Chains A and B, each alone.
Chain A
Amino acid sequence: MAAYVNRCSNLLVFIFILSVFLFVDSQQTTPVNEQHTNTADNPQPAAESATQTAEEGRWEATEVDEAALGDSAADKLGVRASDTFVLTPTPQPKDDFQEELVIRPLHSGDIYASFQFRTLWETDFMRENKVSHYRLFPKSLGQVISKFSVRELHISFTQGYWRTMQWGQPFLPSPPGAELWVWFQDSVTDVDAAWKELTNVLSGIFCASLNFIDSTNTVQPSASFKPLGIVNETDHRFLRYATLPREIVCTENLTPWKKLLPCGSKAGLAVLLKSEKLFHSSFFSQTVHIRPVCQDRECKTTSWELRQTLNVVFDLHTSGQGKREWSLFKMFSRTLTEACPLASSSKIYIDVTDNPQEEYFELSPATPLLSQAVVLGDRRTFSVYDLTQQVTFGTVRSLNLLIRWKSTEGSMLRPLLHAERYVAGYGLQTGEIHTVMYNNHPFRSFPVLLLDSVPWYLRLYIHTLTVTSKGKDNTPSYIHYQPSKDRMRPHLLEMLVQLPPHSVTEVTVQFERALLKWTEYTPDPNHGFYVGSSVISALVPSSVAMDTNITQEQPLFSSFFPCKEESSYFVRVYTEPLLVNLPTPDFSMPYNVICLTCTVVAVGYGSLYNLLTRSFQIEEPNPRLAKKIANFIRRIRGVPLLS
């Protein structure tokens, strides 16, 4: 018995040490004790000094951290330990929920807040017996997945345009309006029918006009939009992509989105999601991504990941009242009091990379936890607030983060890749679409894949397609062009272009505007017609080694796009949507014509007809009153009347 206890305690110690290393390796979380703050000039030395200094400091930190890490780390350990020992302590929960808020102060004085919610479920929707017991995963989406045999579903609703030049890259890009792309299972026979029905169902779930997605705005990309989840083979026949650039995004889209969260908007980070504040912003985007992911390192079994993200950029001048000061209360009109009780991890990350010594802004309350993560080809440092710890909320039992700027100068970010698009030309007959892509890397060239989907009523002259960089023709190494069919399908143009270092690449193509039928115009045709954003997928050279192991525990915001090689990272950039005026007829013309015709008929023909058909008679004028009286008297007298 004693020996058994001894072995058990040995085992526990082993697990504990293992957890220490695992956690330190994966998260690189280092304690910044008060003694060490003076050495923390920049994050790297701080990290080094922390790793060099006392072992007990690390122990302390992990004691705090282990509870913080919660179930997920323990589960992982359970899995790993069970490989060697036949010991499974508790039945693992089959689903897991994590929530995260990343706040990044932008140089312009604006602030970028990104919410990430992830539900993982170890189940198989494609099995014969239907999945009927739902715990954390929303049932409405689970049923959609199994009914339509969806392999991956990505949907985004965005209000406003992400200004890459001012704000840098977002964690997860999305185009203005609504975007939907779906990979179906290869068991689906009629993909188009499933797609049509799926868009209708999603329009009901998200209170959106997704039912306007039909064959005229759906494309089937041949190289873009590779599956983001795990898959054996990719056949692009099972992919559908559509955008609705004019889709309005408002509270009615947010309400059903919040209902998909396990805690709703009742607890956890989601209490901050108040529509009045969220829509009073420069940029708002909410997305839902469903994909199969690896369950473990071996990747033989799949689990389903539902990732809900919400990105918002608050404007300094419209909502910050011009003062360079932000707090949770000012941003969301709420403070945090608790984590979602169903969440295995609930954290707030604040990007402090540019601010190692608090020279730009001041953060209160201070947190001892720092974390590093590789995001978009850059190693960033974050202050971490763990909401599962009561310590975080302090004595007032509520967390109201405050960021106060010290200096007002801000430099423009130079993103390595950005793009813009506009319509050139004059008149209502022809025009030219210009797409301009900037490679700001000083010495590396990299490939980009451009996808353009243009509605049929702009007739592209594909022979006028030119791609030039630095004044010379840049021949694309791959072109896929699918011409449009009137009222049937849009144009699809995909090109693989190599962007030379430090260059501007311009793609131009001319088009002619088609005349629509009378009933095809929208109720407000003078507003113009939208053309969806171009999508630019690129492999941008990374300045630090990327993390290629996706199964490793990472913050959610840095682990969306799977990364295959260390030297570059995948990024997707959307251009502006275009607003094009089509020749609009004078809709009151039929009315005018009817009025004019009727007038002509009534006045001209009518009077002539009158003249021709009437018989004219001379009518006796009425006898005068005196005559009448005279006649009356004569009648009494019996004398002949006066004529």
Chain B
Amino acid sequence: AFLLTFLSAIIMLIFICFCVHFQNTAGQFFSSGHTNNWAVLVCTSRFWFNYRHVANTLSVYRSVKRLGIPDSHIVLMLADDMACNHRNPKPATVFSHRNMELNVYGDDVEVDYRGYEVTVENFLRVLTGRLPPSTPRSKRLLSDDRSNILIYLTGHGGNGFLKFQDSEEISNVELADAFEQMWQKRRYNELLFIIDTCQGASMYERFYSPNIMALASSQVGEDSLSHQPDLAIGVHLMDRYTFYLLEFLEDIHPASKSNMNDLFKVCPKSQCVSTPGHRTDLFLRDPGSVLITDFFGSVRKVEITMEAIHLTDPILQLEDGPMSEEVQEKTYSYVDQLPVSEIIHQKPKQKDWHPPDGFILGLWTLILLVFFKTYGIKHLKHIF
């Protein structure tokens, strides 16, 4: 017994030491000031030749999921189905690398908005949280003022706009206003905005809300270029910027110390052909102190308590005694799937009231009778 108490005392001592150590490191641990992570990943392009935009979005999806953001915290919007497209020689896959090396579609993808659902309206509604009440949780961005949000957009754009599905577009002013609305509604703590599109820098130049860091694949007046043509699939697999972004993110692991300055160096002009841009003036912290995993990873913070927590009463299984003893009198039965005679004799339900047969005829007879009774037959000439 003595040995046991001695051992337990030693274990306690070690434990307390660890706890102290944890508490010391905890301050630095919580410095980013966020308690949850969200990601909104949008591909706005339709049609097979825009395969690369879907692959772009899915590669970011793959990275954030790998770094720990669960599907319930990712809103994935894909404007077209490339994986099960009839032109895809290998269904249920989307490749980001040549020779079918990396399948970014995976075996457990969950797409929240797809096809015609990807519209400017839905995108802005997701951001601002003004959705119809019956919208399921998986289609909502349920962030709060402690949330770090990653927003990734890709598609075809121009100076100051981004096209959605070739039929509508969002302008940089609308986007900036949406972010301001999010800020006022306390829907984010910090926001990282990445856009891979032609003249991408024009999309973030109108932002004015605090705590936004923005990156774009190209400057105003520049095109973003594609990468990796594949002969089997017949189209380009990725855009240059996202390709090198994915390459960079593949080396990140949940404990990485890489910061945003490393992210800004991704895809220099020699690789991208376009000039990637970034904007940090709205962001309060120094980009060098912001970890990549603050946005691409998920916080898993554990608080250590010294107190024992007593659960309330153990969960009791509800006994359904009286219910099962109660003998139900009525007997159920399966119905006939095609009750021919019943269908034939089914009376059509008349919703509107109809006068009985002959009512109208009788009314006219009455009118005529009264008429002749009053005026007689000879006065007919006054009528005709």
- Binding between chains A and B: yes
The reply to whether B346 and A229 form a contact with Cβ atoms under 8 Å apart is no
Question: Which of A274, A301, A478, A570 is in CB contact (< 8 Å) with B107?
Answer: A274
CA of A196 to CA of B111 in the docked complex: distance in angstroms? 21
CB pair A449–B343 under 8 Å, yes or no, is: yes
Residue of A nearest to B78 (CB): A252
| Min C-beta distance of A492 to chain B, whole Å | 13
CA distance A205 to B71 in the complex (A): 12
Given contacts A230-B332, A231-B335, A449-B343, contact A279 B84 (CB under 8 A): yes
For residue A203, CB closer than 8 A to chain B, the reply is yes
Q: Are A477 and B90 within 8 A (Cβ)?
A: no
Q: Which residues of A lie under 8 Å from residue B57 when comparing CB positions?
A: none
When the two chains form their complex, are residues B116 and A209 in contact, meaning their CB atoms are under 8 A apart?
Answer: yes
Q: Which of A159, A227, A480 contacts B335 (CB 8 A)?
A: A227
Chain A count of residues within 8 A CB distance of the other chain: 65
Stretch from A17-25, A292-300, A591-599 that touches the partner: A292-300
Given contacts A276-B93, A447-B338, A562-B337, contact A129 B344 (CB under 8 A): no
- Tell me, yes or no, whether B5 is within 8 Å of chain A by CB: no
Q: Given A279-B91, A523-B167, A539-B338, does the pair A204, B136 have CB atoms closer than 8 Å?
A: yes
**Cβ of A480: which chain B residues have Cβ within 8 Å of it?**
348
Residues of chain B at interface, number, CB under 8 A: 53
B interface: dominant SS: loop
Is B223 close to A, CB under 8 A? no
One digit per residue, 1 when the CB lies within 8 angstroms of any chain A CB and 0 when it does not, for chain B 105-144 equals: 1111111101111000000000000001011111100000
Stretch at the interface among B197-205, B237-245, B290-298, B323-331: B323-331
Q: Is the CB of A570 within 8 A of B344?
A: no
The interface residues of chain B lying within 8 Å CB-to-CB of A231 are: 332-335
Q: Chain B residues near A300: list those with CB within 8 A.
A: 327-332
In the complex, A226 has a CB within 8 A of chain B: yes
Q: Is A212 an interface residue (CB 8 A)?
A: yes
Knowing A133-B317, A248-B115 are in contact, say whether A201-B136 is a contact too (CB < 8 A): yes
Contact A205:B136 (CB < 8 A) given known A223-B346, A275-B107? yes
- Closest partner residue, chain A, to B332 (CB atom): A230
Known: A200-B135, A523-B116, A561-B337. A159 touches B84 (CB 8 A): yes
Please, which residues of chain B bring their CB within 8 A of the CB of A223?
A: 343, 346
A524 interfacial contact with B, CB 8 Å: yes
Q: Once the chains bind, are A280 and B134 in contact (CB under 8 Å)? A: no
Task: Give A205 to B136 CA distance when docked, in angstroms.
Answer: 8
Query: In the complex, which residues 450-485 of chain A have their Cβ closer than 8 Å to any Cβ of chain B?
Result: 477-478, 480
Contact B167 A129 (CB under 8 A): no
What 1/0 flags go to B307-318 for Cβ under 8 Å of A?
000000000011
Question: B20 within 8 Å of A by Cβ?
Answer: no
Interface pair B93/A249, CB less than 8 Å apart: no
Q: Does A211 contact B (CB under 8 A)?
A: yes
CB of B36 to closest CB in A, whole Å: 20
**B336 with A564: CB separation less than 8 A:** yes
Min distance, Cβ B238 to any Cβ of chain A, angstroms: 20
Across-interface contacts of A587 in B (CB, < 8 A): 167
Complex Cα–Cα for A640 and B84 (A)? 93
Residues on B with C-beta less than 8 A from A561 are 337
| B83 lies within 8 A of chain A by Cβ | yes
Task: Judge whether A211 and B117 touch: CB under 8 Å.
Answer: yes
| Partner among A133, A204, A275, A477 whose Cβ is within 8 Å of the Cβ of B92 | A275
A252–B111 contact, CB under 8 A? yes
Bound-complex Cα distance A203 to B337 (A): 28
Interchain CB contact under 8 A, A279 and B335: no
> Is A537 a contact of B330 with CB atoms below 8 Å?
no
Asked whether B343 lies within 8 Å of A496 as measured between CB atoms, the reply is: yes
B227 at the interface (CB under 8 A from A): no
A582 → chain B, closest Cβ, in Å?
16
> Which of A280, A537, A587 has most chain B Cβ within 10 Å?
A280
Closest 7 CB pairs of A and B: A204-B136, A562-B334, A230-B332, A250-B84, A523-B165, A279-B91, A279-B92
Q: Which residues of B contact A (CB under 8 A)?
A: 46-47, 81, 83-84, 90-93, 105-112, 114-117, 132, 134-139, 165-167, 317-318, 323-324, 327-340, 343-344, 346, 348
Offer 18 A-B interface pairs, CB within 8 angstroms, sorted by A.
A201-B134, A204-B137, A204-B138, A204-B139, A207-B114, A209-B116, A226-B336, A226-B339, A280-B90, A300-B330, A301-B324, A447-B340, A478-B344, A496-B343, A523-B116, A524-B166, A539-B340, A564-B337
